[in-house]
Amino acid sequence: MELLIFVGALVVVCAVAFYLWPKISNKIDEFQEDMDEARAEVEEKFEEIADDIEEAVEKALDKIPSDDELKKLTKAKLDELAKNLGIKLDRRKSKDNMIVELKNKAGK
């Protein structure tokens, strides 16, 4: 008798699972599609931001004056220029070394 109840319960569980599986599977597929769309949007935005950053860096590097123009600046002006480019210089160094440091950190 107990075995019959167990088998009956097992049959009911299997029938319910068989009935619900397509619905659950569809929900999983929909969720996966939504995640794929979201991932594609994020990747697209990331690429746009990366392009904007690259363009901003190139513009910033173009703002670095020539060696002759840099040598005409005071140490304070060199430091100010570097700060505008997001670079921190050591003002304890000589002006020539600050120029070298600026160019190295700017990748120029």
DSSP for 54-75 reads HHHHHHHHHTSPPHHHHHHS-H
Residue 50, domain member (yes or no): yes
In terms of residue numbers, what domain contains 23?
Answer: 11-62
pLDDT tens string 58-83: 777 777 888 889 899 999 999 998 88
Amino acid (1-letter code) at residue 77: K
Residue 6, domain member (yes or no): no
C-beta separation of 76 from 57 below 8 A = no
Whether residue 34 sits in one domain with residue 75 = no
Percent of the chain residues past pLDDT 90, beyond the cut: 44
How far apart (Å, rounded) are the C-alpha atoms in residues 97 and 81? 15
Q: Look at the chain and report how many structural domains it folds into.
A: 2
Whether residue 101 sits in one domain with residue 75 = yes
Residue 4, domain member (yes or no): no
Residue 106, domain member (yes or no): yes
Is the pTM higher than 0.85? no
